[in-house]
Homo-oligomer: A and B are copies of this chain.
Amino acid sequence: MKKKLRCGIFGSTGYTGLKLIDLILQRDDLEIVFIGSEQHKGEKFSKIFPNYQNRINLNFSGLNNDFINSLDKNQVDFVFFATPNGVCFQYAPSLIARGIHVIDLSADYRFRDIKTYEAWYSFNRTDLEANRSAIYGLVEFNHQAIISKAQDRSQGVLIGNPGCYTTAAILALTPLLKHSPQNLDLDSIIIDGKSGISGAGRKAEIKLLFSELNDSCSPYNLGGKHRHIPELEMFFGDVAQKPCGIVFSPHLIPMTQGLLVTCYIKTKSSQIDISELKNFYRETYQNFPHNYILEDGIYPQTAWAVDSNRSYIQIDFDKPQNTLIITCAIDNLVKGAGGQGLQNLDLIAGQA
């Protein structure tokens, strides 16, 4: 019998961490060797989360230097950080130095330019070398880089797992930006995002109560304030080889999981061959067939993507307005977080 890959998880008391745990439990080839939380250190995991009774028989480890330093690649293969921003970068350099792979679901390792991170996230960073070695874990487009890094056995691989809105927008727009950037007004990108409430986190706040959010819908952080904007600008700037101007407007939708982006971009011509463009998308994703380009007139429903790494993409063209409208549905907690984390794990483990 094949040896299971051993996973440790920090930050398991939020929705991202809990969903990651669920995904790992569903797989026969993975096992959870520790779950770390400084807050709950020493407590029984299934005491805090009774629905894991009989399934997880671990007490919480701490999340501190002593525990991190005690970790050894003979005990653990992958460490996931589902912690708030600003935690992972304190520990990741030490872990990868010892050959342990780190998959960070927070924003700490998403930015090549560490100053962008510092400006948007208000942390000072000194782990410049680790940050340089980190790979942005958008598997459809960066799998080659991830594979290469995994083949270098000198240290663990460090993955900066993409944000949820970012993942959906990248899946929706990257093939287009590769296909015909010259035909697009790159300053006209508008991404109208709709996320399930789990995206707002598991925090004891009045504004997140059922009775506040049920049967209601609301935008937030409009006008260039959401932290996924620099992530999108970095990625799309690389793809298009020139700066992209992005308006991003997130909204909360009364559903638990699921995320939809409705992306708008002006074209310079009204002659768009949607059929040809869809074929280009299909070719782009041919090795990642969980990304589905829908037939004309069928629209993505977020529920279709829930609890999977699937995405559903539709492309419409408003000819009188020369505007492409590309919609993409994913699960914010799976493809937009730990599910993609496990895709990264699989890529790395495949090179072992």
Contact = CB atoms under 8 A, between A and B. Distances in A.
Contacts of A30: none
30 contacts: A51-B292, A51-B301, A51-B312, A53-B292, A54-B289, A54-B292, A188-B266, A192-B262, A194-B194, A196-B211, A196-B215, A197-B210, A198-B211, A208-B210, A208-B211, A210-B256, A214-B255, A216-B302, A217-B301, A217-B302, A218-B260, A219-B262, A219-B300, A222-B314, A222-B318, A222-B325, A224-B320, A224-B321, A247-B318, A253-B254
A35 to B, nearest CB: 18
Given A51-B312, A204-B206, 13 more contacts: A198-B211, A203-B206, A204-B205, A204-B209, A211-B256, A214-B255, A214-B256, A216-B302, A217-B329, A219-B327, A245-B321, A249-B262, A253-B253
A318 B214 contact: no
Given A223-B316, A318-B247, A302 B190 contact: no
Contacts of A217: 194, 253, 255, 258, 260, 301-302, 329
A202 B211 contact: yes
B190 A223 contact: no
A224 B320 CA distance: 8
Interface string A270-308: 000000000000000000011010110011111110110
A67 interface: no
Contacts of A251: 194, 260, 262
How many subunits of this chain does the assembly comprise? Answer: 4
A-B pairs, 6 with minimum CB distance: A216-B303, A223-B316, A51-B304, A222-B316, A215-B255, A192-B192
A167 interface: no
A73 interface: no
A38 interface: no
A216 B254 contact: no
Interface string A151-191: 00000000000000000000000000000000000011010
A202 B214 CA distance: 13
Nearest to A190: B264
B190 A323 contact: yes
A247 B190 CA distance: 12
A13 B206 CA distance: 11
Nearest to A291: B54
Contact of A249 (B197, B212, B325): B325
B249 A216 contact: no
A101 B222 CA distance: 43
Nearest to A301: B218
A132 interface: no
A253 B292 CA distance: 22
Contact of A216 (B50, B258, B295, B321): B258
Contacts of A188: 188, 266
